[in-house]
Amino acid sequence: MAQSPKKVIWWIRRDMRLIDNPVLTNDIDRPLLVCPVFVIDPTLIGKYSAHNIRLEFMFNSLRSLNADIENEGGRINIHYGNPHEIIPVIYSEFGASEVRAQYDPSQVSRIRDTKIGKLVPLKLTSGLSVVGASDVRSQSDKAYKIFTPFYKSWWNKAIYNSSKLPKINGEIQFTNFGDPSILNKFLSNSNKQFPASEIEAQTRLNSFLSLTKSPTLGMVKYKSNKDRLDKIGTSQLSPYLRFGLISPRLVVNKAFDVLTRNPEFTSEVSTWISELAWRDFYIAKASNMHEFEDVNFTEYFPWRLDFEQYQSWCFGKTGYPIIDAIMRQLRIEGWISNRARMLAASFLTKQLLIDWRWGANWFMQHLIDGDSFANDGGWKWIAGVGAGAAPFFRIFNPIVQAKKYDPNGEYVRRWVPELSGLPSPYVHEPWLLTNGQRLDNKMNGYPLPIVDLHEARDRALTTYKKLRATT
């Protein structure tokens, strides 16, 4: 006699995929009837402009996921409003046995899930990270606040977890009474650089890991190209990981497979996997923040409240070409490499001594892959505040960095067209030109540097040292 299906609600959040999604893993030999639900929360999307690139990517991802589910005979039930009001109603009307959702360590999500968990049976699953935050702890059962020991503990667990991709037992069906038409009210412009679909995420991963399709880029040259600003040296999977169009566990699974079959690329693959470990590290820190001592100097650090210099940084008018190129790429494309993020953050917090929270907020407004825990974690690390931060005396010199990672000035010329006609010796240091040369090269009003690097470095070191001595 056929068993009646177990009814569950899939509350879609940051897991917009069908492949390797723990929410859809059925651990019983009983059919599973899944009602896919997405709630557009106005309190969350209201923080951003109507043309925000991250929201656009999210809505396009939803459209793509709905198309995939329609191919399976179902449809997403999309609502606009407060999840605390909507989820319990759907749970009751559908007659579900539980609501399943992927765990999210952000403070907003925890508060929301705690409230809803009191109204309906809410089962939070893994899937956001390769290894769960509770599974990577020290021998004394404490959370790691520094990356290196975290990574050593994480590595073997990541190998094990990524090798145990779940198998679907029994039949899974999707309900088709949902109404996704509300998506028509939101942005639908296609993003040529980051097409939003699970298939695109899989294609990017396979292309990046291929050792034959891209012999001069991708994994083959990852270690030497990952920091280059004038090349596409990274996988650019971050937006897809941000919204769960691809499983981080599956990503690591395929990377380990390349490592096993091609040991000569151990250095390249291991370096790339370590970048994924950083993502897990920040997720773990967000999950375990209550365990860390309060070593955040943010509140009483003597930040400079210089709004004019902040604006110059935001809009790429600092007079330092590499910084300006980075900030202009951010505003136009909504994505910059990790090296670019570190350079921009270091300049704002060290050379300008402006509060890292100003910069973190600007990044979150413009990044297509903006993630609060990774974004805040990265900014605190660069600024030298918070648990496990980088040494305060680590100050990136934008000129040195530019010559190293954009040696011919191609990146600067692309994003700072005022300097497109300058020869390589001057493209990173245009202030070395005479007034006559500036006119001859038609620099179109490109500004002089807003700060002297040597003076700024001395000021930053003096300020940090004084603070450390008094705390």
Q: How many other β-carbons are positioned within 10 Å of the β-carbon of residue 18?
A: 15
Could you give phi then psi for residue 245, rounded to 5 degrees?
A: -75, -10
Q: What is the mean pLDDT of residues 157-183?
A: 81
Average pLDDT value over all residues in the chain: 90
* Element of type H or E holding 77: strand 77-80
Please choose, from the candidates 301, 383, 389, 381, the residue with its C-alpha nearest in 3D space to the C-alpha of residue 348: 383
Structure-token match 């145990």, residue found:
164
Check if the beta carbon of residue 99 is closer than 8 Å to that of residue 200: no
| Helix 398-405 / helix 321-333 crossing angle, nearest 10 deg | 70
* DSSP state letter for 137: B
Domains of the chain are 1-128 (3.40.50.620), 129-164+199-292 (1.25.40.80), 307-470 (1.10.579.10)
**Would the pLDDT of 294 be above 60?**
no
What pLDDT does 296 receive? 58
| Helix 356-366 / helix 321-333 crossing angle, nearest 10 deg | 40
Check if the beta carbon of residue 406 is closer than 8 Å to that of residue 400: no
What pLDDT does 169 receive? 52
What pLDDT does 301 receive? 84
Side chain identity, residue 457 = R
Check if the beta carbon of residue 329 is closer than 8 Å to that of residue 336: yes
Confidence of residue 193 (pLDDT cuts 50, 70, 90): very high
**Would the pLDDT of 214 be above 60?**
no
Could you give phi then psi for residue 165, rounded to 5 degrees?
A: -60, 135
More confident call, 296 vs 208: 208
Sequence-distant (6+) residues with CB within 8 A of 62 are 12, 16, 38, 76, 78, 180, 183
Cα dihedral: 405, 408, 412, 413 (round 10): -160
- C-alpha 352/C-alpha 383 separation (Å) is 11
Which tens digit of pLDDT belongs to each residue from 412-444? 999 999 999 898 889 999 999 887 777 666 677
More confident call, 439 vs 449: 449
